[in-house]
Chain A
């Protein structure tokens, strides 16, 4: 592994000349206070990393409980966790528990993991580095965003402690205004988390506009930053609508103001419009940064200029903008007007085009490259495989006729897990391996990384491909039991649920294994003494600083003389392109 990349070295970075006694951002000050009150974007990024990983594994355990229950058609596994005087009572108590489990799994994964995952961790860490800046534009606001995130997370934990939540992460009215669970606490938590997201977005937009290194034109910005920039636009423009929606929901519950509740004269479909106006663009908040990560990893690990830079950058922005006009495709069967459904379906197909362009460009980048199968690259290739399935199955749901059948079935569940887990989580894994040595100055074990990538891929496909089948066979989502269906469907559902459950166990083990070898490498991994120890480097500016970076990122202001994808291996005499 090391032999192949030994020759790849950034040109004359200051770190190569060695500041041996110089402190890096990790050991500059070891006190707890220096972490808790740090204004360093890198340390804030790491605090986010620790938090989102905690919530990811927490949400993952909830998912495994759900999968275990669904292994059999009737109520069994969860009945061991509840009390009741007889079988009927146990079954209903377990049903309540199940509803809480899937609600919290969804809410935690979306609000506490997926939305902050890549932007708040790798975005925070690398956005200033890749721009050649010393920090984000507003470091104090950045720290403030982190603490708002923590506060919002506490509200979610409070929800858990105070009777849970059983509305589904969508909080649809009038169920959410009539249930007995802690709706106000959890919606207030999501409301607070929204502010964290908005402020991070403001910070990133201003940083990209105002803090770029000299000569870094808009066409020399790494694609990861184009993705983060597009994401930030959505965070700023969509999240406030979620904020007001959740606030109205809180008022509805506390005061009964009658905007969404039909009993008071309100309109529950209006709630769905409000909710999806945010939550559909939010899907792009979760997936656009992943696109950016894949653009970086594919080009670095095939030592080739990314194919179609302009198209990829433009497609990020256009996805972000068109993404605001498609929310109604979540509501084809909700009773919205047929004309609205027609338009939303049409615009949804329009989003598919830029997304397809991205996938084609990544594959074309591999052409005549120098491809190496290390952990980040395996995860990136796995991403292309899984995301392509996720994207193509979206076509079935964008099509008016087929969506009528597939809406609210496991087909939808499988589709969005292919995008959110097969897409965002796998890209997150690609990013963490790609930048691990740069961030921590230690190497993880490459073989462990490869094994993890392969088992995540296998476990994931077993878990979710089976869900496509049961979904198109009609299995509705959010079902605690499925033992009352007709015999021919029962046998299909049972078999598919069993495959899915087994797959989820493999996926869970593979991810736990990943956590262990990464944590192990933090303390025992091979040390990176200077840049020649790195297994790979790129041409973007995060590779032009010390490893790990110094507290103020750069000793000398770097200057963007050329494209971030201008690798030394590229043989310009070969012709073609440009």
Chain B
């Protein structure tokens, strides 16, 4: 835990903690510009205040200097900033090259963004699995290949000082290397008392980093946050093994569906307790008649659910906005069936034994 405290200590008044080596390099550039700026600012303002006070009008007929220009002075204050700006530019450029060139041995993770969520796809020799949060091993270069399903998003890890827009129909690349593990798998917890409620409970000891969407993308832009867990190599491998087991397992369809329900962010608009949020609740509707916005109606059956996931604007339930993004291409046949199974289970109809 000492190492962890040290990491948090790297946070300063201006910058959050430094989670990667590139963050250190970038902060050096930042502070170089910062101290230069402070020197210039103090100089300019000191001169301004000094002149203003010294030459304040003491009598109505106070005479003033005819000084209107000075070639020497003007030459110097053009030349010195030009040289300093060139230094800043080159240093900034150098650090930026590091930011932009992923090492050849980097581990690749696919990133998918949509309104409003993130999903990380890991390809291991055995299988492929996805995770709603980003788990990475420490001290290993990670290369992210990112694309968006709908509008522009931007992948931003403030503690790693990296950011890159995520575009539809185009892949952008970003890389980083985490310095030190700040969490464990499974998560280490401690019994702690909540200061507000006074209740005792398990509190995670992990200090995950923040993932933000930095490009405005609509209603839930500010809620499009995820966590980045940096694990030691051993813990990371444990996590991978567990995820692989999940991916290959014959997990009951409704359980898989329940996972998808949160990882694909269905839960932000569709409740399972009967309350209507942005979209209709899943509870109490399966098998029932649905009124559509265009005046027609139909039954909420398996076909309707799958159609609505893939083509959400074809049949819009009456009284709700046409706000749902399409998930076509993001879910395979099994996952679609799993979501149907979960919706059935919410309505008490799904029988896990049936498969």
Contacts and interface: CB of A to CB of B under 8 A. Distances in A.
B288 interface: no
B62 interface: yes
B30 A366 contact: no
Contacts of B150: 174, 178
Among A95, A303, A405, A485, chain B packs the most CB atoms within 10 A around the CB of A405
B187 to A, nearest CB: 15
Contacts of A268: 152, 167-168
A393 B64 contact: no
Contacts of A400: 92-93, 95-96
Contacts of A335: 164-165, 167, 170, 172
B214 A407 contact: yes
Contacts of B218: 99, 166, 175, 179
A168 B152 CA distance: 13
A7 B61 contact: yes
Interface string B250-271: 0000000000000000000001
A578 interface: yes
Contacts of B65: 304, 367-369, 570-571, 574, 576-577
Given A85-B275, A369-B51, A6 B152 contact: no
B285 interface: no
B11 interface: yes
B282 to A, nearest CB: 14
Contact of A308 (B69, B85, B276, B321): B69
Interface string B1-19: 0000000100101111100
Contacts of A311: 69, 74
B305 interface: no
Interface stretch (B127-135, B137-145, B153-161): B153-161
Interface in A357-382: 357, 359-360, 363-364, 366-373, 381
B47 to A, nearest CB: 5
A481 interface: yes
A458 interface: no
A396 interface: yes
B100 interface: yes
B60 A4 contact: yes
Dominant secondary structure of chain B at its interface with chain A: mixed
Nearest to B269: A92
A540 to B, nearest CB: 15
B64 A303 contact: yes
Contacts of B331: none
B48 interface: yes
A309 interface: yes
Interface in A26-49: none
Q: How large is the interface on B (under 10, 10 to 19, 20 to 34, 35 or more residues)?
A: 35 or more
A490 to B, nearest CB: 10
Interface in B61-107: 61-70, 73-74, 77-78, 81-82, 85-86, 88-89, 91-96, 99-100
Given A89-B277, A481-B222, A175 B57 contact: no
Contact of A409 (B45, B214, B225): B214
B324 interface: no
Contact of A486 (B45, B59, B207): B207
Contacts of B241: none
Contacts of A473: 14-16, 158
B249 interface: no
Given A88-B277, A392-B40, A474-B212, A574 B52 contact: no
Contact of A392 (B37, B96, B158): B37
Contacts of B124: none
Contacts of B322: 180
Given A268-B167, A399-B29, A363 B64 contact: no
Interface string A549-578: 000000000000000010101111011111
A395 B33 contact: yes
Among A96, A357, A393, A484, chain B packs the most CB atoms within 10 A around the CB of A484
Contacts of A345: 89, 92-93
A367 B55 contact: yes
Contacts, number: 309
A73 to B, nearest CB: 10
A353 interface: yes
Among A303, A338, A341, A474, chain B packs the most CB atoms within 10 A around the CB of A474
Contacts of B223: 95, 481, 484
A86 B275 contact: yes
A439 to B, nearest CB: 24
B159 to A, nearest CB: 7
Given A338-B100, A371-B55, A7 B95 contact: no
Nearest to B76: A360
A577 to B, nearest CB: 4
Nearest to B158: A474
A95 B220 contact: yes
Interface stretch (A146-154, A383-391, A519-527): A383-391
A395 B91 CA distance: 12
A578 B33 contact: no
B190 interface: no
B55 A368 contact: yes
A570 B67 CA distance: 9
A306 interface: yes
A92 B277 CA distance: 9
Contact of A369 (B55, B159, B214, B278): B55
Contacts of A576: 65-67
A385 B45 contact: yes
Contact of B77 (A92, A357, A569): A357
A325 interface: no
Contact of B62 (A174, A363, A407, A569): A569
Interface in A245-285: 262-263, 268-269
A3 interface: yes
Given A349-B85, A404-B162, A307 B69 contact: yes
Contact of A302 (B34, B64, B69, B158): B64
Nearest to A393: B37
Contact of B48 (A99, A349, A385, A485): A385
Contacts of A310: 69
B208 interface: yes
Interface in A401-456: 401-405, 407-409
Given A402-B92, A476-B213, 17 more contacts: A92-B278, A175-B152, A303-B62, A311-B69, A335-B172, A349-B85, A385-B48, A396-B33, A401-B25, A401-B93, A401-B94, A404-B162, A404-B164, A485-B210, A486-B208, A489-B16, A577-B68
